[in-house]
Chains A and B, each alone.
Chain A
Amino acid sequence: MTATTATTTAATTRPTRPAKVHVSTRINGEDVEFLCEPRQSLLECLREVIGLTGTKEGCNDGNCGACSVLLDGRLVNSCLVLGVEAQGREITTIEGIAPPQGLHPLQQTFLEDAALQCGICTPGFIVAAKALLDREPDPTEERVRFWLAGNLCRCTGYDKIVRAVLDAAALMRQQRAGTAPDGRDGQAATAQPR
């Protein structure tokens, strides 16, 4: 009997960490591959492995929405999705919200309506609001508040956020109809201060 087998126990023969998993996914329209341990959440993978730090960690348990992303177009909390579950899926993060030129209407109205202060909740709110407006172009205020119930903000008191979402919905309807004012037609660059 060798020294090795004499000291071998169940604890030392079982690997302490399973091998990393190779994940192929599509993030904001680009193919992305990464390695992660099974226990790493999609949030952790986005921020720590891939380097997309726009998505924020707030509570890490599905209560605050700071980690909101779209998974195959569905709004989810990325803290409650494992990175390995992203295999073969499409993910949209805050980094993928802006069009090739300029700002998404939500980004525009959030700035114009002062819907952020510290900004830590803002990526989550914008992603969540985009998920709503992609489905429902003309939501009521009550519907907006209900949809965003999973996104918490400590700074603003929510009112300006709700107004910004409603203003963005109106702007998007105008853009679709071709009736948006100059500079707000989705073609030009940045938001103008009011």
Chain B
Amino acid sequence: MQAFEYVRPQSLREGVQLLAEKAGRARPLAGGTDLLVQLRAERFQLERVVDVKAIPELNQLVYDPAVGLTIGAAVPCYRIYEDSTVAVLYPGLIDSASIIGGIAIQGRATIGGNLCNASPSGDTIPSLIVHRATCTIAGPAATRTIPVEQFCLAPGATRLAPDELLVSITLPPPRPNSAGRYLRFIPRNEMDIAVVGAAAWVALDEAKRTIVDARIALGAVAPTPLFVPEAGQALIGTDANDAAIAAAAEAARAAARPITDMRGTAEQRRHLVGVLTARAIRGALARARGEHVPVLALH
């Protein structure tokens, strides 16, 4: 691996400064499950690696009914799915955190890192999008907040400036009678990169019959994870009947722009979008009605 300097700041201010000093030639290290692989492949030429795991703001995992769930960018996946509050309030997020890689990867990998890695197939990103998550970003001069669906620009590229650090991701407090669901298609049962990922989130009225709000997002079918507003729109105001779900799935299929690569053909991916979107919607609906829908990953 290329030689680099390793620093471990104890504060957010110090961390931003250490990044800014070497802007463009320094990157943050959280779980390392993407960065170390990329360094060995010489995807970056770095002089400095900034280990952000000692920065308090990046380690918080806090639920506040007024704010929602704040997940520090360096919080590993296992902390998310072992948290009983998160499991009850945001099962759609648990779906994602439980299926990145395998157990050993989840011991280190973070959803902040998954987002910053900006893979088109990142398993947490469609879930974050449908849950209306926002990113808090710190730079030398200011802190800003943007919606997750605006964060990724292209494969591996984000809106972060070279001297900015993702601090945390915030999911708003769950609406009553709402829930999300994330599903993906992979060749094996674990460890693979998503061929297609689909996240759905729905909110039902008090009678738990009519969909009053819905969001759909897709992974691995566009250069970035894809928020599909029209698919959610196809569900709103309906009683979640088969025709509405089919319309939403069709809208998602139409929006997908998959490529053919070693993980699948564009045609297969388009087909999978339709299937997984419908299943994700049904899973989200069941959860919104109070039913237990287990995560794929047998936790």
Contacts and interface: CB of A to CB of B under 8 A. Distances in A.
Nearest to A143: B298
A82 B46 CA distance: 15
Interface stretch (A71-79, A100-108, A114-122, A164-172): A71-79
Contacts of A98: none
Most chain B beta-carbon neighbours within 10 Å: one of A37, A68, A82: A82
Interface in A140-194: 142-143, 145-147, 149-150
Interface stretch (B103-111, B173-181, B221-229, B242-250): B103-111
B1 A131 contact: no
Contacts of A17: 3
B3 A62 contact: no
A18 B103 contact: no
B108 A80 contact: yes
Contact of B105 (A37, A71, A150): A150
A80 B101 CA distance: 13
Interface stretch (B87-95, B116-124, B187-195): B187-195
Interface string B266-299: 0000000000000000000000000000000110
A61 B188 contact: no
A62 to B, nearest CB: 6
B298 A77 contact: no
A157 to B, nearest CB: 15
B33 A80 contact: yes
Interface of A: 16-18, 21, 37-41, 60-63, 65, 68, 71, 74-77, 79-82, 84-85, 128, 131-132, 142-143, 145-147, 149-150
